[in-house]
Amino acid sequence: MPESLTGFSSLICNLTKQGDKYTIDLPLDWLQGRTAYGGLSAALCLEATIRSFPLLPPLRSAHFSFLGPAVGELGVSAEVSRQGKSTAFTQATVVGEMGTAAQASFCFGTARVSGYDYCSIPAPEVSHPDTYPAYFSWLNRPNFMQHFEGRLVSGARPCTADELPEMLVWLRHRDLATETNLVGLLAMADALPPAIFVMFREPVPISTVTWSVDVLDESCETEEGWWLVRSVAESASNGFTTQVITIWAADGRPVLSARQNVAVFGNAALH
């Protein structure tokens, strides 16, 4: 990773406690335009929550709403909404120079003995990441994308007028010192452009509206930092697109399942 970039591990260390919140001033290389991208805001919410309440059980589910641009010095606060015997519900808020930027709702839950064990999210058959071409190869990418390494397994890159709005990509942080935990995974899970961009001929401004995440494996371990990410657009109309994101560890375990609603601006035509 170039020395001029702020690695994710360093970025998280720069999140500093001040009173009842955590603050951070994001470097330019982590921005999307002038604001933090959604995955980074989500990761900061989770990091602030875990630091504020270190005895929480594993994260099971999260919902993020992105209300406005996260610009300038950011303040991240967290609170417990309800704590039960096995689950805890918390909220976190990101506030920047332009007001509230993001809100998060988390559900943490202790594992229980269960009489069932079922999963119907088989991993695609793929080879080692080194056998595939680089994914982030187009010009004028958002700044934050330079922090991730990607290998295109199938599908197409954005703005190639392809007919199928989906992509399968090996992804990992370029900063290999990044811990293999859910904070780093959330930041990476939002690194790809919207799947509908595959069908566009030219880029247009976008803004994630909501993001729902279910955690399927609390261990959050993988090999060499690589995660297999599939993003599939379900719909695109009236200025919004919906998509499903699934993430597997390198050994094929499904770790995260997510849905996004993204606002698409401009008037780009498909194909």
Q: What is the pTM of this model?
A: 0.95
Closest Cα to residue 35, out of 99, 107, 124? Answer: 99
Using CA atoms, how far apart are residues 223 and 211, in angstroms rounded to an integer? 26
CATH classification code of 8-110+127-264: 2.40.160.210
User: How far is it between the farthest Cα atoms of the chain?
Assistant: 53
Structure confidence by residue, pLDDT tens digits, 54-83: 999 999 999 999 999 999 999 999 999 999
Q: How many CB atoms lie within 10 A of CB 150?
A: 24
Residues of the chain with pLDDT > 90: what percent? 86
Residue 204: pLDDT over 90: no
Predicted confidence at residue 36, as pLDDT, reads 95
∠226-39-181 over CA atoms, to 5°?
Answer: 45
Residues of the chain with pLDDT > 70: what percent? 97
Predicted confidence at residue 268, as pLDDT, reads 61
Q: What is the 3-state secondary structure (H, E, C) of 252-267?
A: CCEEEEEEEEEEECCC
Predicted confidence at residue 271, as pLDDT, reads 54
Report, as an integer, the average pLDDT of 226-254.
Answer: 97
Predicted confidence at residue 219, as pLDDT, reads 86
Determine the residue type at 206. I
Predicted confidence at residue 202, as pLDDT, reads 87
Do 115 and 142 contact (CB within 8 A), yes or no? no
Predicted confidence at residue 115, as pLDDT, reads 87
Per-residue confidence at 25, pLDDT binned at 50, 70, 90?
A: very high
Using CA atoms, how far apart are residues 22 and 24, in angstroms rounded to an integer? 7
CA distances from 42 to 67, 133, 164 (A): 12, 29, 28
Report, as an integer, the average pLDDT of 213-237.
Answer: 95
Predicted confidence at residue 113, as pLDDT, reads 87
Q: Which tokens sit at 204?
A: 């247009």
Structure-token match 């990761």, residue found: 43
Structure confidence by residue, pLDDT tens digits, 94-110: 999 999 999 999 999 99
The domain segmentation of the chain, as residue ranges, is 8-110+127-264
Residue 1: pLDDT over 80: no
Q: Which tokens sit at 152?
A: 């295109």
